[in-house]
Amino acid sequence: MHGQELKAALLAVGKARLTGPDATPYISSSTAGPGAGGEGSVFFSNGSMRVRFACSETGPVEIIHAGEGAAILRYGEIELSGRLEPVGLHCPEQAYITVSSGCIFNCRYCNVPLLPKRRKSIEEIHAMVEGIKDRIVAISITSGVFFDISEEEDYVCRVVRDLAQFGLPIGVSIYPTEETPSRLYGLGVKEVKFNLECATPELFAGLCPGHDRDLILRVLRKSVLLFGRDHVFSNVILGLGETDEEMDACIRELTTMGVIPVIRPLNPIAGFSGSNRPGAERMLKIAGYHEKALQKAGLDTRNATTMCVRCRGCDLVPGEPL
Ligand code: SF4
């Protein structure tokens, strides 16, 4: 097994048991995204592929840390030599910072609303980036919603204004208003990610109460005009109950607009804690649709400089040199 098949098999498992000498310096803990609130994550790389695993004592994948990041991954017949990658903040090579933890919304697949609410101060965020600025290539910003969407946007804009001093490309992913693309563009942000999350309007209506799917689509369209093709992204979760055809249609809707979809395998938490992650076979089938749609639209994931498309730890990303 190699390439995409291998990565799909590992992503389908998603959890790893760490053995060997202490690997604490390589463990990232998150307050946003798929690992929010868990026992932390590690990033294993064999030189070409990067995979993020949630740390779990019962994980079926074993990563044997041999010291100083050198590692061997074992899963059934699979044995890979590689490394545990050093993490900037949250993921390798980037300071990916959650401004406000916790959220006033209650999307059924997300456990961020269950986490304690806390907002980082601008000084705190500045100091976090200052501490690692020599070993990162990008800054990425995300946030829950502390009070309301407009107030959050104002606060994130203040954060971005401050972080511009570092001279690194900045990517931002927040719950948008109609004004978000132009405001962020005006602040020099390089890339944006506004998440559609669900492949169909029906799933969205049931799983994301209080959110407006049409608004997200409008904002994505505007963003492509400002930030350019290859620099606007949208996460769509695979495994919320959509069919393959529905996911294919959603991918094509996004790529036709010039948006790169990030197809994120379901992390079975919150309201989906009894569900399974999508299997490797389904991930590969959807990755085939994804690749075809990107090619047809002339989009190239290798041009991304921030956030998940640059990181690639959680997803099969067409264009990754596997
Ligand atoms: S792909 Fe995105 S969510 Fe996953 S580890 Fe990388 S930056 Fe974080």
Residues 199-235: tens digit of each pLDDT: 999 999 999 999 999 999 999 999 999 999 999 999 9
Split at pLDDT 50, 70, 90, the class of 321 is: confident
- Best substitution site from 50, 91, 191, 301 to test ligand 1's pocket, by max atoms within 8 Å of Cβ? 91
The overall average pLDDT reported for the chain is: 94
Q: Which residues pair with 52 in a beta bridge?
A: 43
Q: How many CB atoms lie within 10 A of CB 298?
A: 10
> Which atom from ligand 1 is nearest to the alpha carbon of 311?
6
Is the CB of 91 within 6 Å of ligand 1? yes
Is the CB of 50 within 6 Å of ligand 1? no
CA of 308 to the centre of ligand 1 (A): 5
CA of 12 to the centre of ligand 1 (A): 15
What are residue 179's phi and psi, to 5 degrees?
-85, -10
What's residue 114's pLDDT? 85
Going 181 to 187 to 190 to 192, the CA torsion angle's sign is negative
> 113 Cβ partners below 8 Å, 6+ apart?
102, 103, 104, 105, 106, 107, 144
The pair of three-digit structure tokens given for residue 206, joined into one six-digit string: 């049931």
Is the CB of 227 within 6 Å of ligand 1? no
Q: Give, using CA atoms, the residue closest to atom 4 of ligand 1.
A: 314
Q: Which of 142, 140, 168, 139 is nearest to 155 (CA)?
A: 142
Q: Give, using CA atoms, the residue closest to atom 1 of ligand 1.
A: 308
CA of 213 to the centre of ligand 1 (A): 23
Whether the model pTM is above 0.85:
yes
Residue ranges of the chain that CATH labels 3.20.20.70 = 90-311
Is the CB of 52 within 6 Å of ligand 1? yes
Asked: is 90-311 a CATH 3.40.50.11260 domain? The reply is no
> Which atom from ligand 1 is nearest to the alpha carbon of 35?
3
CA of 4 to the centre of ligand 1 (A): 18
Cα–Cα distance list, 160 to 24, 27, 187 (Å) = 30, 26, 7
In this prediction, residues 11-31 reach a mean pLDDT of 90
Tell me the one-letter amino acid at 82: G
- pLDDT above 50 for 34: no
